[in-house]
Amino acid sequence: MSKQNLAYNYDLEELREQETDRKRKIAHESGTFTFDRVIVARFVAIFILAGVLLAAIMYGRVELSSLYSRQAQLQAELEQYENENKSLESELAQKTGLTKVESYAEDELGLQKLNKSQIEYIRVKKDAVSEPVKQEDDNVFMRIKKTIGGILEYLGLK
């Protein structure tokens, strides 16, 4: 109804306002929230949830940053160890080189290289082939031992 109508009953309007005020008081006293309080509670809950999510994201970024710095530190340490390893390998190669070994053999051990005059050649006849001398076992016990050894070898026990 429009309030511009001259025939409008203002008493009814006052009654309606009193009724809504009475309902609000009853809802407030009974502990039920009004529509406005529910909306405010939702906004507060959303704000808290957004704060928690923001804090989780920031914590993740901080952890990620610390992991990246630890990785860089370990990478630098690895490079240092690799450089040290290369220098040790070159030092080892230098110490075990042929010239170093030859100088050690000559200076410390007193060894010398062979001259052509020190080399002696031996001629062997083609017919002269050495063969091992077969030893005869006259002993009975040795023959028994060989026989038993042959049997065990044949059976795969020896």
Question: Which three-class secondary structure string do you get for 16-51?
Answer: HHHHHHHHHHHHHHHCCCCHHHHHHHHHHHHHHHHH
pTM of the model as a whole: 0.40
User: What is the token pair recorded at 105?
Assistant: 């053999």
Question: Is the CB of residue 34 less than 8 Å from the CB of residue 24?
Answer: yes
Residues 63-106 pLDDT 10s: 999 999 999 999 999 999 999 999 999 988 888 888 888 888 88
d(CA 50, CA 42): 12
Residue 17: φ, ψ to 5°: -65, -40
Task: For residue 25, give the amino acid letter.
Answer: K
d(CA 81, CA 88): 10
Average pLDDT, the chain: 83
pLDDT of residue 28: 65
Task: For residue 149, give the amino acid letter.
Answer: G
What's the sign of the alpha-carbon dihedral 71, 72, 77, 80?
positive
pLDDT of residue 34: 57
pLDDT of residue 84: 96
pLDDT of residue 81: 97
Residue 114 DSSP symbol = P
d(CA 14, CA 155): 122
d(CA 19, CA 30): 16
pLDDT of residue 94: 85
Residues of the chain with pLDDT under 70: 1-10, 27-35, 128-129, 136-138, 158
